[in-house]
Structure 1
Amino acid sequence: MFEDLKAIDGVGAKTAERLAELDDPREALEAENVAEIARAPGISDGRAARIVRAAIRHRHDDSGEFLATDRAEELYGSILESLKARAVTAYGEKRLETFYPSASADRIAEVRAFTERAVEREPSPEILEALSGVEPLEAPRDVQVRDRCLATNDAETFSEAREAIPEVSVELIEDARGIADLARGYSTVIVLDEAFSGVEIDGDVRVRPDALSDPTEIVPERALAFFARNGDRLRAAAAVHRAAGLEAPCDLDALEGALERLEGDGSVTGDEQLRRLGTAIDDLDAAVSMAENAANDRLREAIEKRDVTIEGTDLLSLVERGAGVDSLLERELADEYAAAIESARKRLLGALELPDHESLARGAFNEEPTFPVEHDERVIERLREELIAERDRRAARLKQELAERLGELRDPAEALVGAALELDVELAVSRFARDFECTFPAIEGEGIEIEGGRSPLLDVPFEDVEPVDYTVEGVSLLSGVNSGGKTSTLDLLGVVVVAAQMGLPVPAERARVQRFEALHYQAKTQGTLDAGAFEATLREFGALVESDRTRLVLVDELESITEPGASAVIVAGILESLTESDSTAVFVSHLAGEIREAADVDVTVDGIEAIGLENGELRVNRSPVKNQLARSTPELIVEKLAENEGAPFYSELLGKFDAEGD
């Protein structure tokens, strides 16, 4: 779909080159796979999320201009942070950053389909615990195999081999003599040229012209290192699938069984014969020494207990022949010596636990009598070489078998982890929907209609937030007492629209939202603006009313930009222009009455009504009343005094408010 990666906003030539190093960057972008994009060199997780988001916009021809003001961006940021806070994995957090409010109906529908499935997920503690160990799979670093090499006399094959199997050394040779030289330095030499078939060379030399077609056979360490590096992540992903009841892409028992046989360094464990060989090699010198000492102790004890009498003529004969203690042992203690040697052999064999090497091991102790008993070092070295060779052969065969077994699981393993990570994204949406008691809005008609809406942005526990009902069509002024909830009502409108156009459920019992092309939210200005800032604000609204886009405009107390009298006239003019445009707008103002009087068109004024004062606390109906100018806090206080005190002064003051309202 992305024929030219540079067509994606923010992807320049260098970034495109980095992405091109991935196996299939276009497929990764289409799948919105942040983890795969982040594997490109020099691309961080955050950068990957931005690239994927830009690719989504490119795919849907989305300008990305929905959030038209800083306050609109802040609302989106708050929603996004709430979502990310409910993800368990770092991947989930970055993947959620690809969710954004869009004006594209296709994009909204695309995410909506995902989130409708997601909210059905049950975020159980077992699943969340298992997810804590899941991370994107990583390629092992610096896998080097130094006991074998590839050899060829063809330059093109040489280059191909270095690229296909970088884990081993590739050597250029001229003839069989070159192979022989390599065989003296490497345990195994794999020759890639058919021309050397039939050449007999000492050592493990294999002519394999097809070797590059099956790297796993030549370098099983590649597959083993990958699974060793990612073993814990795969186990965690398997636990997620079991806890969530997901259909796994492979046999989980088989995968876990194979992982159990793999050590962290990529070696194979769980084979008893390999264990015995390794132990025998490690303990060989100690076992020989112990067997030798035991034989000498036994023979020494036999000598000490034996009275040996040698007649003079026998002694003279032994001396004349130059015989020593060995001859004396052979003559007088032959049985005891034989028993000592046999005990040494049995002790050595018992320590090594290797019956297949009994013949050579028995030869470690010569039957010719000598004292002290000494092992034959040449036999021991031969035995050591045999043990090492057998160990290496067996280890290589076990690696090969396990690598072939795991190699078949590579793609399913990646799918297993990918599904677990995507589940984390779904569960974050589900937890968001549950925590804020959300519902999916109807995206249709004009304006906004909310029933039982509660803003998640308030600094109180969500369960303590009072629900609000409010319907907005066209242009409205929202009036109300201080601290009555006017700003939080604007926030609620913004949150509902942003969440709906992200494709998310919204925090309300029921909602209907028009699909807007842009959200303009003008937050309350702190203090009167200077001339330059005032002019910039007017220019912003001038551009806004001249645009032909379908917009939601939320403005909080614009009158604070200048003097009250001028503010009422300015706001009235802006409302007149918005009334003539394709906009839905809500302006919060304490000057609603004055603005209505200054406007040349009928302007709807809604009010957040104060019910009264109770123990000095203001009681408010948080749901705006349509076509009702809300009474101010001073009016409520005067009304309370008029009722309680009965003095004409308070009644006359109250009458002034009534006259003003008329």
Structure 2
Amino acid sequence: MEFEAIPGVGEKTAAALSELDDAERALREGDVATLTRAPGVSEGRAAAVARGAIRRRHDDDGDFLATDRAREVYEDALGLLRERTVTDYAAKRIATFYPTDSASRIAEVREFVERATDRDPDPDVLDALSGVEPLSPPATRRVRDRCLATADAERFAAAEEAFPELSVEVVEDARGLAELARSYSTVVALDEQFAGIDVEGDVRVRPDAMESPDEIVPERVLAFFAENRSRVLAAAAVHEAADLDPPCDLDALRDALDRLDDDGTIVGDAELDRLVTAVDDLDATVSTAESVANDRLREAIRERDVTIEGTDFLSLVEQGARVDSLLDRELEDEYDDAVAAAREHLVDALDLRPEEADFAERAFPDDPAFPVEHEPSVISRLRTELKAGRDRRAARLKRDLAADLSALRDPVEELVREALELDVELAVARFAADFECTLPSFVDIDGADVTGEASPESHGFAIEGGRSPLLDVDFADVDPVDYRVSGATLLSGVNSGGKTSTLDLVALVVVLAQMGLPVPAERVELERFSELHYYAKTQGTLDAGAFESTLRDFRALADGETNRLVLVDELESITEPGASAKIVAGILEALDEQAATAVFVSHLAGEIREAAGFDVAVDGIEALGLEDGELVVNRSPVKDHLARSTPELIVEKLADDDGSGFYDRLLEKF
């Protein structure tokens, strides 16, 4: 794939993506977790790159959201979905969903939604998801007990890049290998020319080392699983709680992880534990063994009366004899017992095997001496043997476990990826359930069915039982709204009657629908709009410059796509009411000519209708009256109805309560 062909991806990001093993799959599936492994690519950036790749695949220009307010509604929709995610990954992954006029992309997401809404957001599954995170590469750890050796300069450079954990040495012949073998426990020769050379030490000829990195450096795969143990186990728990079919044997996976400590070392092997303990405790155990021997010998001397006749004493002095000779003559048996106790302690405390126990026999001298001291050379050799046995055992166990875990590497990545994607699916499922959503039906402008579902009569949108989750009230308390629009329409109504909320509902429904997601309504039909233009209410009259800029924005609406949705909230506030009515009328005429769908909220609906050069539709959110000073409103706009204003309702209420006729005369003015 040509990464720079993805919208928004430059040379630097393309180079980072090229370092990933499966970048094309990640881009195809919107796998934000994998994309963040690329150097310098943050989660937010990864989501943007994934979105760009999706747009490219569906030939989408990404211009659906044409105004700031339209983009705000989209962000609100994403927020509702993010609130229902558990993992940070899913919260970022949600951003790969976006509104579009691409039929193929909408259909792709709808397939995902149908699968997602079949999921059960069980609390146990959500709880298990809380421990799942994307897999993280561990920091590179230096391995100092082995090295690579080569006589080839190019191979040397390649080995340094492929194995940052190891030292790479240049050698010319067997002598160079032999020298390395004296410094390293294991030497891996990379050149075929060294095959068959007999060198003392652990020297292995592996020309295929580059193709088998986990065999050469098993610590690499062990470190990966040690770093990600909790994530992997949490993903396994998610699969079990959700009754998903895992990509590997979870019992075998847990068994392998049980053999690995958090720092990447092997655990659970009794023989390795014995050797590690023996090496660590050797010096202390030898010191204790000496104490055992000397304590016994002291006790024997205290309890024994030793008599030396004068001639014997003279003889010993003349011979230059030391106390050793006296011990040999008088306490031979006691000395032997003391040394035997020291040797036994050494064997028992270190749990030495028979072949190792021979060192214990030679660790203390047979010739009597006081105090009893160990033979340093013997203990040094014992230490060397124990370390060698420990390292051989650990290396073999590392290779065996690394081989088991290497086979699980790809399945484990899939295991975690599926768990994270499940969180995305459950967020959509929870969104659909919380807001009683349904999948909308799409139609083309000419009424042709594009989704295999029923189509409305022409174009525009039709919402039945729509309820906005963006309102600042409990969703259960939101009044349902029915609203159908085809062509350019004015929406009238009393203040605080719900006109802006209706526009927000329409915008949210269209945004969600064209994201491919379910919408908060009982039933929705709409055409695939090419763009959404939503203009929020302007605060106060604009100055000349801002007024001109606003008119330029609406001038652009007269050109280009013919099936845009335009939502405008009280445009008349940009200038004087008389001029505003004429301007809005002119804009509506242009939109009508290009067969756009438009809803303009206005308190000047009557004036605009009179100024328009066509029969503009006027709908009204009807106030049913005042009750205890509060408006009682039918939230669903009434078709072809100019709604009464709040002042008219107040005057009408006063006229009912007053017989003077004053309020009746005022009422006639409306």
TM-score, normalised to structure 2's length?
0.95
Tell me if structure 1 keeps the 8 A contact 2:64–2:100.
yes
Q: Which amino acid aligns with 2:381?
A: R
> Distance between the aligned counterparts of 1:50 and 1:496, measured in 2?
23
Task: Name structure 2 gaps, 5 residues minimum.
Answer: 444-455
Q: Would you say 1:594 and 2:607 are equivalent positions?
A: yes
C-alpha distance in 1 between matches for 2:198 and 2:618? 100
**Residue 210 to residue 632, structure 1, CA distance change in 2 (3 Å):** closer
Which residue pairs with 1:208 in the alignment?
206
For residues 654 and 435 of structure 1, the distance between their equivalents in structure 2, rounded to whole angstroms, comes to 45
* Aligned-partner residue type, residue 614 of structure 2: V
How far off its partner does 1:486 sit? Answer: 0.3
Is 1:513 aligned with 2:511?
A: no
Question: Which amino acid is the alignment partner of residue 119 of structure 1?
Answer: T
Please state whether the residue corresponding to 1:478 is helix, strand or coil. strand
Query: Among 39, 62, 65, which residue is 1:64 paired with?
Result: 62
Give the residue type in structure 2 aligned to 1:101: P
Which residue type is aligned with residue 185 of structure 1?
S
User: Which residue of 1 is the match for residue 142 of structure 2?
Assistant: 144
Q: Does 1:295 align with 2:293?
A: yes
Verify the 8 A CA contact 1:518 1:549 in the aligned structure 2. Answer: no
How far apart, CA to CA, are the structure 1 residues paired with 2:192 and 2:6? 48
User: Where in structure 1 are there 5+ consecutive unaligned residues?
Assistant: 658-662
Whether the aligned pair in 1 keeps the contact of 2:140 and 2:164 (CA below 8 Å) is no
**Map of 1:264 onto structure 2:** 262
Secondary structure at the counterpart of residue 409 of structure 1:
helix
- Rounded to whole Å, the distance in 2 between the matches of 1:323 and 1:198 is 59
Contact 1:442 1:511 in 2 (8 A): yes
For 1:646 and 1:160, the matched residues in 2 are separated by 101
Q: For residue 316 of structure 1, report the CA deviation from its aligned partner.
A: 4.1
Letter in 2 for 1:416: L
Partner of 2:629 in structure 1? 616
> How far off is 1:317 after superposition?
4.1
Alpha carbons 2:542, 2:575 under 8 Å: kept: yes
Structure 1 residue 568 and structure 2 residue 596: aligned? no
Aligned with 1:469: secondary structure?
strand
Q: Distance in 2 between matches of 1:547 and 1:300?
A: 108
Q: Is the 8 A contact 1:554 1:586 kept in 2?
A: yes
Q: Note the C-alpha offset of 1:577.
A: 2.3
Is the CA contact 1:548–1:582 (under 8 Å) kept in the aligned structure 2? Answer: no
**Match runs of 1:517-556 below 5 Å:** 517-556=530-569
Does structure 1 conserve the Cα–Cα contact (< 8 Å) formed by 2:534 and 2:568? yes
One-letter amino acid of the structure 2 residue matched with residue 617 of structure 1: E
- How far 1:320 sits from its partner (Å)? 4.2
Q: SS at the partner of 1:363?
A: helix
Mapped partners of 1:651, 1:601: distance in 2: 34
Q: Indicate the residue corresponding to 2:597 in structure 1.
A: 584
Shift, 1:325, TM fit = 2.2
CA–CA distance in structure 2, aligned partners of residues 311 and 51 of structure 1: 101
* Cross-structure match for 1:351: 349
Structure 2 counterparts to residues 430-469 of structure 1, below 5 A: 430-444=429-443, 445=456, 446-469=459-482
Q: Decide whether the 8 Å contact of 2:32 with 2:43 is kept in 1.
A: yes
The separation in 2 between residues aligned to 1:17 and 1:199, in whole angstroms, is: 43
Query: SS at 1:451's partner residue?
Result: strand
1:182 corresponds to = 180
Measured after TM superposition, the shift of residue 89 of structure 1 is 1.7
CA shift, 1:313, in A, is 4.0
Aligned to 1:660: none
Partners of 2:582 and 2:193 in 1: CA distance: 95
1:304 to 302, 305, 321: 302
In 2: Cα distance, 1:636 partner to 1:212 partner: 84
Deviation, 1:597, is 1.9
Deviation at 1:410, TM superposition (A): 0.6
After the TM superposition, which residues 279-294 of structure 1 pair with which residues of structure 2 at under 5 Å, given as runs? Answer: 279-294=277-292
Deviations 1:560-591, CA, capped at 9 Å, x for gaps: 11111111122122222222222111111111
Which residue of structure 2 lines up, in the alignment, with residue 392 of structure 1? 391
The CA distance in 1 between the partners of 2:152 and 2:610, in whole Å, is 92
Q: Percent identity?
A: 67
After superposing the two structures, state which structure 1 stretch, 4-13 or 523-532, moved more.
4-13
Deviates more, 1:556-565 or 1:163-172: 163-172
Q: Which amino acid aligns with 2:63?
A: E
- Please say if residues 475 and 578 of structure 1, whose CA atoms lie closer than 8 Å, have aligned partners that are also in contact: yes
Contact 2:530 2:561 in 1 (8 A): no
Q: State the SS of the aligned residue for 1:477.
A: strand
Q: Which amino acid aligns with 2:195?
A: S
Q: Could you say which residue in structure 1 is the equivalent of 2:503?
A: 490
Amino acid at match of 1:571: V
| Alpha-carbon shift at residue 149 of structure 1 (Å) | 1.1
> 3-state SS of the aligned residue for 1:268?
coil
The equivalent of 1:415 in structure 2 is 414
For the residues of structure 2 that align with 1:149 and 1:496, how far apart are their CA atoms?
63
Worse-matched range after superposition: 39-48 or 18-27: 18-27
Q: 2:244 aligns with which of 234, 243, 246?
A: 246
Cα gap change, 1:209/1:13 in structure 2, threshold over 3 Å: closer, same or farther? closer
Change (3 A) 1:193 1:8: closer
Who is 1:476 aligned against?
489
What secondary structure sits across from 2:558 in the alignment?
helix
Q: Deviations over 1:13-49 (max 9, x none)?
A: 2322222222243332222222222222122211111
| Between 243-252 and 189-198, the greater mean CA deviation after superposition | 189-198
Alpha-carbon distance in 2 for matches of 1:7, 1:309: 103
In structure 2, the CA distance between the partners of 1:225 and 1:318, relative to structure 1 (3 Å rule), is same
User: Which range is displaced more, 220-229 or 356-365?
Assistant: 356-365
Q: Distance in 2 between matches of 1:210 and 1:593?
A: 84
For residues 261-315 of structure 1, give each alpha carbon's deviation from its aligned partner in whole angstroms, at most 9, with x where no partner exists: 2122211111111111111111111111111112111111111111223334444
1:472-505, Cα deviation, whole Å (9 max, x unpaired): 1122111110000000001101100000000010
Mapped partners of 1:412, 1:495: distance in 2? 39
What residue is the counterpart of 1:607 in the other structure?
620
Structure 2 match to 1:82 = 80
**Equivalent in the alignment of 2:379:** 380
| Equivalent of 2:160 in 156, 159, 162 | 162
- 1:4-153 matches, cutoff 5 A: 4-153=2-151
Q: Which amino acid aligns with 2:170?
A: L
> Which range is displaced more, 419-428 or 204-213?
204-213
Contact preservation (8 Å) 1:152, 1:193 = yes
Cα contact 1:559–1:568 (8 A) shared by 2: yes
The list of structure 1 runs, each at least 4 consecutive aligned residues, that deviate by more than 6 angstroms after superposition, is none
Deviation, 1:97, is: 0.8
Q: Given residue 590 of structure 1, which amino acid in structure 2 is its aligned partner?
A: H
